[in-house]
């Protein structure tokens, strides 16, 4: 710095201004005053002056800066808290969606299991139970205790399949209904019996609309000394032979000559068989139609029912 022109007078040593700084001249010392040839050397002691205006500005700006800083910090904290809450809500939403999805899957799984496994198994068990009950009834129906007469099943006389069956509501039955089928053709042999029975089944199913032949059993007599029992609806199924008695009785149709002793003996053996297998009560009631001749009624009563402890009714 060129300070040759700097005044050394005491009253002119107040201030030295350097760009961007203000200094106060505290002391000036000139060297080599005795040597006129020597270069002038001056020592200056300076003290930096405080900028009152700047200090004031700084002091005034400090609270604002501090306020801004605090405000900025508060905003940052609020943003962080908002972000944390946003993430928490997002995770909560994801959790709810996951729970709902899992519940829907469990519901679908339950529906699938119930529809295709449980229901199918239940239906299968029901079918098995029904089948078992049906098989049990069929076994009982076809079972013949010792001493029972031979009975030809429907398959033996080529019967048509029945449409449906209903069980008797009263079992063992309390009534026996017998009817003489007098309109049948002359009976010469077993083939004639089967033909007459099949014609009767066709008429009752096709013309009358019944589910099967109406009688539970049929007795056919031919050549005056041959009798055969044919199964109709059997021991446990409701017949269609006498209105008002179909649910608590067995209907027996008689084909051919009914007045012979062997014919009555066959009838008696069928009734005894029913009592033995507990399909007929011992104190049963015999019901006959009005077209049955009185002579037959008396013979049946004398030959068949006195020894069986049955009673007779019209």
Residue whose structure tokens are 């077993």 = 190
Residue whose structure tokens are 């050394």 = 8
Per CATH, which fold does 151-313 belong to? Lysozyme-like (3.40.80)
Q: Which residues contact 115 (CB under 8 A, 6 or more apart)?
A: none
* CB neighbour class for 230 (10 Å; exposed up to 12, middle 13-18, buried from 19): buried
The pLDDT of residue 222: 76
| pTM for this entry | 0.55
How far is CA 150 from each of CA 93, 155, 234, rounded to the nearest angstrom? Answer: 81, 14, 13
Q: Higher-confidence residue: 248 or 7?
A: 248
Spatial distance between the Cα atoms of 251 and 239, rounded to a whole number of angstroms: 6
The pLDDT of residue 281: 92
The pLDDT of residue 218: 92
pLDDT band (50, 70, 90) for residue 297:
low
Per residue in 134-189, pLDDT tens? 667 777 778 888 889 999 999 889 999 999 889 989 899 999 888 877 655 567 78
Spatial distance between the Cα atoms of 192 and 213, rounded to a whole number of angstroms: 17
Per residue in 31-63, pLDDT tens? 655 655 655 566 677 777 665 555 555 455 555
Over residues 249-258, mean pLDDT? 81
Q: Higher-confidence residue: 75 or 79?
A: 79
pLDDT band (50, 70, 90) for residue 243:
confident
Over residues 70-94, mean pLDDT? 73
What residue ranges do the domains of the chain occupy? 10-49, 56-142, 151-313
Q: Is the pLDDT of residue 224 over 70?
A: no
């Amino acid at each position: 710095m060129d300070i040759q022109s700097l005044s050394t007078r005491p009253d002119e040593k107040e201030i030295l201004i350097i760009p961007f700084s203000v200094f106060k001249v505290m002391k000036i010392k000139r060297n080599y005053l005795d040597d006129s040839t020597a270069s002038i050397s001056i020592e200056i002691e300076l003290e930096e002056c405080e900028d009152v205006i700047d200090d004031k500005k700084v002091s005034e700006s400090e609270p604002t800066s501090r306020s801004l800083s605090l405000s900025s910090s508060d905003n940052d904290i609020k943003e962080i808290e908002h972000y944390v809450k946003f993430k928490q809500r997002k995770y909560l939403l994801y959790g709810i969606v996951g729970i709902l999805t899992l519940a829907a899957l469990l519901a679908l799984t339950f529906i699938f299991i119930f529809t295709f496994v449980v229901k199918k198994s239940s239906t299968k068990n029901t079918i098995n139970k029904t089948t078992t009950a049906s098989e049990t009834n069929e076994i009982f129906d076809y079972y013949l205790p010792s001493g029972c007469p031979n009975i030809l099943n429907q398959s033996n006389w080529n019967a048509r399949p029945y449409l449906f069956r209903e069980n008797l509501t009263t079992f063992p039955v309390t009534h026996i209904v017998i009817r003489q089928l007098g309109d049948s053709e002359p009976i010469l042999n077993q083939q004639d019996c089967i033909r007459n029975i099949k014609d009767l089944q066709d008429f009752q199913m096709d013309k009358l609309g019944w589910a099967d032949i109406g009688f539970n059993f049929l007795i056919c007599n031919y050549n005056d000394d041959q009798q055969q029992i044919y199964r109709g609806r059997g021991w446990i199924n409701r017949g269609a032979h006498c209105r008002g008695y179909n649910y608590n009785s067995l209907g027996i149709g008689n084909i051919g000559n009914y007045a012979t002793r062997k014919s009555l003996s066959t009838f008696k053996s069928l009734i005894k068989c029913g009592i033995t297998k507990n399909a007929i009560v011992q104190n049963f009631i015999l019901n006959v139609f009005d077209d049955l001749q009185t002579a037959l009624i008396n013979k049946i009563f004398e030959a068949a029912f006195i020894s069986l402890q049955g009673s007779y009714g019209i």
